[in-house]
Chains A and B, each alone.
Chain A
Amino acid sequence: MASSEYTEVVVEGRKVRLRAPAAEAIPAYGAATRVVGTAAQRVDALEKVTGRAVYPSDLRLPGMVHARFVRSARAHARITSMDLSHAEKVPGFLAAIGPSELSEKSLKDMLGRELPILTEEPKYYGEEILAVCAETDDAARAAAREVRITYETLPFSVDPEERVRAGQFVGGGWTPTGPGRPAVYERGNVQKAMAAANRIIERTYRTAPNVHSSIEPHAAVASYEEGRWTVWESTQGVFAVREELAAMLGAPLLSVRVIGTHMGGGFGSKVSAGKYTFIAAYLAKKLGRPVRCVQDRSEEFVSPYGRPPSVVTIKAAVRPDGKLLAIEQKGIHAAGPYGFGAEWGHAEDMAAEMYACDNVRTETYAALTHTPPPCAMRAPGHAQAAFSLEQMMDEIAREIGMDPVEFRLKNLPARDPVSGKPIAVPRGSHGLAECLKKGGELFQWKKRRKETRDAPPPRFRRGVGVAATAWSAGGGPPASVVIRIHADGVAELFAGAADIGTGTRTALAQIASEETGVPVDRIRVTNADTALTSYCLPSYGSLTLASTGPAVRRAAVACRRQLLSIASDILEAPEKNIVLAGGRATRPASRKTPESSVPIAKLVELSASREIVGLGEREGNPDMSIRSHGAQFVAVEVDTETGTIEVTDLVAVNDSGRVINPTMFKSQQYGGVTMGLGMGLTEERVYDLETGRPLNPNLTDYKVPTILDQPAAFQAVPLEVPYDGNNLGAKGLGEPPIIPTAAAVANAVYDAIGIRLAALPLTPKRVIDALHPPESKP
C-alpha cells in the first residue's frame, strides 16, 4: 500500500508540502512467524515482581529532599493572606515557593491554552497555591499543613449545565471557538431530514466524572548538576515532558534529560509535564539538591482531573428499513475554569464518524466549571460518546423492530463520513462487521436475545446487550529506533516509547527477535530516556505499537541483512537459504549437505564493525481512515429487589490487525473492559455542591472494580482482520476496549427491565429508583 506522499504544514504563514521520507518497502510477514504472535513472557516480569524495577516514585537519591503542594480549600476564592511563619518553624523546612515567584510560568495544553502553576485566586478545590520543600516527606507534609491561608470566598459552580445556562462556556473539541459559542460540526441538512422522517427518538444521557486511579501517583524526581537537569518522571512521554519542561525553565532542550523507563500507569493523565515536574526541577536548581515531588492518593483526585462529566442529548431519525437518516447531538461537558484541556472532554467525534449517516449536526459546549481542568482518560470523548450513541442505536433499532446487530451492519460506512477517506479494509472485509459477526457467534446472540425476550419476569431479570466502537489507531511517524547487536550475541534496542504497562518493551523485543534471530531474553530494551533514545510521541491515542513497532522491524531488518551477508560467506549458502533463529544462523540440511550453523555472536565478532547496527524509521501511513474496531456482547442479571446488576457473561472482540503477543492483547481487553465496567457500574467522583469539594478522594469510596466484579464468563477475543498499512500489519488497541462497555451493559439492562437507564454509573440506587419510583410528595 502506498504511503501518503505529502504532509501539509505552515511555515511562516506559507503552506508547504513536505515530502514523506523515502523508505524502501519491507515485505509483509510470511505465512508463519516464529516469535511475533507468540505469548512471550514480559521482558521485565522478573524485575517487576521482585521489586527491582525502580519507578520514579520509588527513587531515592543521596541528599534528596521533598516537595509538597499547599492546595486551595475553596472551590473559588481570592487569597487575602498567607502566613508561613508556622511552616518555617517545622524542623527540616527548607523553602517555600509562592505564586508571585512563578507568575510568569504556566502549563500549556495542546491548543496553547494556559494554566498557572501556582495561583493567588484558586478556581477549583485543590488548586495549587504554594509548594513547600523539606528534608523529609513527613516534614514537607507537616510544613504544608502549617501554612495558614485566609480566603475571600467567591461564587462557584461545579455543575456544567448550570454554567452553560449562565453563558460560561467555550466551544470544545479540537477546533475551539471563543467564549459563549459552541463548537459546531455539520454535514447534510439535519433539520430537513428530521422534518421528513417519521421515526425520531431523543434522549439525554449523562456520564459521571471518573478518575484514572493509576497505581503509581503523579511523580517526578529532579536533580540539577552542571547546568543540566535529570528528571525521572512517571510519564507516558519523556520527549513531551522534556519539551514542555525546557520551555517552562527557559532552558535549551538538551539541558533537560527525562527518564521514564518504568511507570505505574497513566491512562492519559501523564502525557505532559505536570506542575509537580516543574516544581521538582525548579527547586532542584534553587536548592542544589535532588528534589522529589510526588502526589498523595487524595491529590490524584484533584490534580490533574480525569474524565469530565458529560451531558449528551441525542436525537436520531431512522427509516423503517433501518437506514439511519439523521443524528443531532448537543453535548455539554465540564472543562474546568480555564478551558485548559477542554479538548479531552468532547463527546462529539463518535456521533459524526461511527456510522454512515448523511445528516449530522453536533454542538459542543465546554462548560467553565470550578472543577480541575480535564485531561485525557482512556479513549477521551469516545467512552462518553459511546454511552449515548450506542444506546441510541439500540433504541432506534428496537423502534423499528430490527436486531441491533443487523441495524449496525446496515449502517457501516465504507468511507470515513467526516474526512471522506476510505476506511482501510484491504481485503474487502469491514473490521467492525467482522467483530460484530464473530462476537455474535461466540455469544450466541440471536438465541440468547430470544431467550431473554421470552422469559417471564422473575425476581432476577436477564437481558443481553451489544455495543460497538471504532477508534483511529493507525499510529505513524515520528519514531526512530536503533538496534545494536554486540559480539556476545546480546542485542540492545533503543526506543523512545514509554511502556505504560501494556507490554510495549516485550512486543518490541519480539519484533526485533523475529528478524534478527536474537532470542527475546537476549534483547535489552532501553526505552523512554531522552539522552539515549530517539524522539517519539507519548504513549497515548493507542499509537505506540503501531508507531514504534514498524520502526523496530525496519531496524531489525537492517541488522538481519548484515547478519545474513556474513552468514552466507561462512556457511557457503545463499542468504535466502539461511534461517536466523534461536541465536544462530542456520543453513538447513539439504539432500547433499548436513545442517550447519554459526552463533550470531560469531557473526558479529567477524563483522567489519564488530557490532551490528540497524536504524529504523517509521514510514508514513496510507491516505486512509485507519480504525481499530471492536464489539462487546454482555448478559446481565438484574436483581429487581436490590437493584444489583451482575454482568454474568461478556464477549469482547477486537480487530486491530496483527496480534504481536496474544497474552498482552487479551490483557488490554481485560483491562479496558474492567475500566469500562467501573465507568458503567461503580465509579463516580462525588462533588459536594455546597462547597465544590470532591467527597470521595480515596480508593474506598471511589469504587474501582475488584476482581470479584468481573463477569463470571469473560471471553476476550483477538480478531486479526488483515491490514497492510504498515510493515507490521498492526494497529493500536489500548483504548478501544473501554469504549463500548458501559453502553453494552446499559443496553442489556434495558433488555432485562424495560427501562432505559441514561445516567452513569448504574448503581443499585439508580435501578431501584427506576423500578420503584419514590412516591412523590403531595
Chain B
Amino acid sequence: MDLLDLMKSSIRAPGRLVNLLTIDELKGIDVDTSGATIGALATLAEIADHPDLARMFPALALAAGHAATPQVRNVATIGGNILQRPRCWYFRMAQYPCLKKGGDTCFAMDGENKYHAIFENSLCAMVHPSNTAVALLALDAVVRTAGSGEIPIRKFFVTPDQDILRESALAEGELVTQLFIPATGARSHYLEFRERQSFDWALVSAAAAAELEGQTLNNARVVLGSVAPIPWRIDLGEIAATDEALDRAADEAVRGATPLAKNKYKVQLARTAIRRSLRELARATE
C-alpha cells in the first residue's frame, strides 16, 4: 500500500507501523517450468529487469517497467503496487468526505472527472491505479497470503458495490506473501497511454494474453487499467487474429461504457488499447 502518501495527505494516521522489509521470505523471484513465484517485496525494478519474466510473461515485465520513475521502481514493491489506494483527487484530499472515506458522496461524479472510471462507475468513479494488477489479472495469477492461503486474482479486487471502503478481498490483518503466475505458454503484452512519458499514471492501460494457434487467438483476454474501480477484464475466447475481427471485438468491448461528463475520450482510448494490445499478440507470430 502507498501508506506514506496517505499519511502525508492525512488520510491515514496509524498509531503503529510494522516494517515488513526485514522479512527475507517475502523477497525474491523464482521461475521454473510451472511458472513464476514472486515475493510480495520484489521490487518493480527487479520484475521489469528479470529476463525470465520478460520472456515468459512480458505483460508483467512491461507493466512494472512503465510504473512511476526509475527511483520509485527501485524501492516500490509489487505487493504494495497491487494494493495502492485510489489516486482520485477527491479521495486524496482530506477535505472531501467521500464514500471511500466513510462519507456519503462521490465528488467526482459531477466534479472534475477526466481521469475517472468509464465502467462500473455508478457508485464511486475511482479507477484502480495499479499497472501490475492489470498484467497479473491477464496472466491469471494467484495471490498467496498469510491468512486465507490463496486467492485467485480474479477474486482479489473488489468493486465499490462489494465493499466501498476497500479495493481488495484481503481480510483485516491478512498479508500478501507471494504472487504465483502459472506457465501456460500464452503470449502476453502490455501498453499504456498517458499524458507524460515518465512519472505519470496511465489514462488507459491494457494487458492482453492469449494462446496463438495459426491465425487464431485462443482463450484471448484483455484487461484494461484506469477505466474502472478494478482492473477491467474482457474475455474474448477464440478470435481470429485479423485486424477486422480484433477491431470488432474492441468496439464490442467498450459498448457498455458509461462515461462521465469529462472522460468520454477514455472510451476511444480503451478501444485503441484493446485493439493495439491484441494486434501485438497476433503480430508476434509473423
Please give the residue numbers on chain A whose beta carbons come within 8 Å of chain B beta carbons, in ascending order.
Answer: 73, 145, 641-644, 681-682, 686-691, 693, 695-696, 700-701, 703, 705-709, 763-765, 768-769, 772, 774
Residues of B within 8 Å of A774, CB to CB, are 259, 264-265
The 8 A-B pairs at the shortest CB distance, nearest first, are namely A708-B197, A768-B265, A774-B264, A695-B89, A706-B198, A641-B272, A765-B265, A708-B198
**CA of A700 to CA of B263 in the docked complex: distance in angstroms?**
19
Residues of A within 8 Å of B96, CB to CB, are 691
- In-complex Cβ contact of A643 among B90, B114, B201, B265 (8 A): B265
Residues of B within 8 Å of A688, CB to CB, are 90, 107, 111-112
**CA of A644 to CA of B193 in the docked complex: distance in angstroms?**
8
Q: Are A709 and B196 in contact (CB-based, < 8 A)?
A: yes
A772 nearest CB across to chain B (Å): 5
Q: Are B112 and A641 in contact (CB-based, < 8 A)?
A: no
30 contacts across the A-B interface (CB closer than 8 A): A73-B95, A641-B272, A641-B276, A643-B268, A644-B193, A688-B90, A688-B112, A689-B111, A689-B112, A690-B110, A690-B111, A693-B93, A693-B95, A695-B112, A700-B199, A703-B200, A706-B69, A706-B197, A707-B198, A708-B196, A708-B197, A709-B196, A764-B193, A764-B195, A765-B263, A768-B265, A769-B264, A772-B265, A772-B268, A774-B264
Residues of B within 8 Å of A709, CB to CB, are 196-198
CB-nearest residue of chain B relative to A687?
Answer: B112
**CA of A701 to CA of B88 in the docked complex: distance in angstroms?**
10
B50 nearest CB across to chain A (Å): 23
**CA of A691 to CA of B264 in the docked complex: distance in angstroms?**
24
Q: Are A695 and B198 in contact (CB-based, < 8 A)?
A: no
Q: Is B203 an interface residue (CB 8 A)?
A: yes
B192 nearest CB across to chain A (Å): 10
CB-nearest residue of chain B relative to A642?
Answer: B193
Residues of B within 8 Å of A687, CB to CB, are 112
CB-nearest residue of chain B relative to A772?
Answer: B268
B227 nearest CB across to chain A (Å): 14
CB contact under 8 A between A768 and B95, given known A695-B90, A703-B196, A705-B196: no
Q: Is the interface of B mostly helix, strand, loop or mixed?
A: loop
CB-nearest residue of chain B relative to A644?
Answer: B193
Residues of A within 8 Å of B87, CB to CB, are 701
- The number of residue pairs between A and B whose CB atoms lie closer than 8 Å in the complex comes to 79
CB-nearest residue of chain A relative to B259?
Answer: A774
Q: Is B269 an interface residue (CB 8 A)?
A: yes
Q: Are A642 and B107 in contact (CB-based, < 8 A)?
A: no
Q: Are B95 and A641 in contact (CB-based, < 8 A)?
A: no
Residues of B within 8 Å of A707, CB to CB, are 198
**CA of A690 to CA of B197 in the docked complex: distance in angstroms?**
31
Please give the residue numbers on chain B whose beta carbons come within 8 Å of chain A beta carbons, in ascending order.
Answer: 10, 69, 87, 89-90, 93, 95-96, 107, 110-112, 114, 193, 195-201, 203, 259, 262-265, 268-269, 272, 276
Residues of B within 8 Å of A73, CB to CB, are 95
CB contact under 8 A between A701 and B89, given known A682-B196, A690-B107, A706-B198: yes
**CA of A563 to CA of B256 in the docked complex: distance in angstroms?**
84
**CA of A695 to CA of B89 in the docked complex: distance in angstroms?**
6
**CA of A643 to CA of B276 in the docked complex: distance in angstroms?**
14
**CA of A696 to CA of B95 in the docked complex: distance in angstroms?**
13
**CA of A765 to CA of B276 in the docked complex: distance in angstroms?**
19
**CA of A566 to CA of B34 in the docked complex: distance in angstroms?**
87
Q: Are A764 and B90 in contact (CB-based, < 8 A)?
A: no
**CA of A654 to CA of B122 in the docked complex: distance in angstroms?**
53
Which one of B69, B90, B193, B196 has the greatest number of beta carbons of chain A within 10 Å? Answer: B196
Q: Are B268 and A686 in contact (CB-based, < 8 A)?
A: no
Residues of A within 8 Å of B276, CB to CB, are 641
Q: Are B197 and A764 in contact (CB-based, < 8 A)?
A: no
Q: Are A764 and B265 in contact (CB-based, < 8 A)?
A: yes
**CA of A39 to CA of B22 in the docked complex: distance in angstroms?**
49
**CA of A568 to CA of B43 in the docked complex: distance in angstroms?**
70
Residues of B within 8 Å of A682, CB to CB, are 195-196
Residues of A within 8 Å of B193, CB to CB, are 642, 644, 764
Residues of B within 8 Å of A641, CB to CB, are 268, 272, 276
**CA of A690 to CA of B259 in the docked complex: distance in angstroms?**
20
**CA of A705 to CA of B200 in the docked complex: distance in angstroms?**
10
Residues of A within 8 Å of B107, CB to CB, are 688, 690
**CA of A682 to CA of B199 in the docked complex: distance in angstroms?**
12
**CA of A703 to CA of B200 in the docked complex: distance in angstroms?**
8
CB-nearest residue of chain B relative to A646?
Answer: B197
Q: Are A706 and B112 in contact (CB-based, < 8 A)?
A: no
B198 nearest CB across to chain A (Å): 4
CB-nearest residue of chain B relative to A766?
Answer: B265
CB-nearest residue of chain A relative to B114?
Answer: A765
**CA of A687 to CA of B111 in the docked complex: distance in angstroms?**
10
Residues of B within 8 Å of A768, CB to CB, are 265, 268-269
**CA of A406 to CA of B43 in the docked complex: distance in angstroms?**
55
Q: Are A696 and B89 in contact (CB-based, < 8 A)?
A: yes
B94 nearest CB across to chain A (Å): 10
B70 nearest CB across to chain A (Å): 11
**CA of A763 to CA of B262 in the docked complex: distance in angstroms?**
13
Residues of B within 8 Å of A689, CB to CB, are 111-112
Residues of A within 8 Å of B198, CB to CB, are 706-709
Residues of A within 8 Å of B89, CB to CB, are 686, 695-696, 701
CB contact under 8 A between A706 and B196, given known A690-B107, A690-B111, A768-B265: yes
**CA of A644 to CA of B200 in the docked complex: distance in angstroms?**
14
CB contact under 8 A between A769 and B112, given known A693-B93, A708-B197, A764-B203: no
Q: Are A769 and B93 in contact (CB-based, < 8 A)?
A: no
- In-complex Cβ contact of B199 among A695, A696, A706, A763 (8 A): A706
**A686-B89, A706-B199 known; 7 other A-B pairs, CB under 8 Å?**
A73-B95, A688-B107, A688-B111, A693-B93, A695-B112, A703-B195, A703-B196
CB-nearest residue of chain B relative to A707?
Answer: B198
Residues of A within 8 Å of B200, CB to CB, are 700, 703
**CA of A706 to CA of B200 in the docked complex: distance in angstroms?**
10
**CA of A772 to CA of B90 in the docked complex: distance in angstroms?**
28
Q: Are A686 and B264 in contact (CB-based, < 8 A)?
A: no
**CA of A41 to CA of B259 in the docked complex: distance in angstroms?**
54
**CA of A689 to CA of B268 in the docked complex: distance in angstroms?**
26
A693 nearest CB across to chain B (Å): 7
CB-nearest residue of chain B relative to A771?
Answer: B268
**CA of A764 to CA of B200 in the docked complex: distance in angstroms?**
14
B116 nearest CB across to chain A (Å): 12
**CA of A768 to CA of B114 in the docked complex: distance in angstroms?**
13
**CA of A763 to CA of B69 in the docked complex: distance in angstroms?**
21
CB-nearest residue of chain A relative to B262?
Answer: A765
**CA of A708 to CA of B10 in the docked complex: distance in angstroms?**
32
Residues of A within 8 Å of B110, CB to CB, are 690
**CA of A643 to CA of B203 in the docked complex: distance in angstroms?**
11
**CA of A152 to CA of B151 in the docked complex: distance in angstroms?**
50
Residues of A within 8 Å of B69, CB to CB, are 706
A153 nearest CB across to chain B (Å): 13
CB-nearest residue of chain A relative to B264?
Answer: A774
CB-nearest residue of chain B relative to A767?
Answer: B265
**CA of A641 to CA of B276 in the docked complex: distance in angstroms?**
10
Residues of A within 8 Å of B196, CB to CB, are 681-682, 703, 705-706, 708-709
**CA of A709 to CA of B196 in the docked complex: distance in angstroms?**
6
**CA of A703 to CA of B93 in the docked complex: distance in angstroms?**
18
Residues of B within 8 Å of A693, CB to CB, are 93, 95
**CA of A298 to CA of B264 in the docked complex: distance in angstroms?**
29
**CA of A190 to CA of B111 in the docked complex: distance in angstroms?**
42
A626 nearest CB across to chain B (Å): 37
**CA of A705 to CA of B265 in the docked complex: distance in angstroms?**
22
Q: Are A642 and B272 in contact (CB-based, < 8 A)?
A: yes
B284 nearest CB across to chain A (Å): 20
CB-nearest residue of chain A relative to B115?
Answer: A701
Residues of A within 8 Å of B112, CB to CB, are 686-689, 695
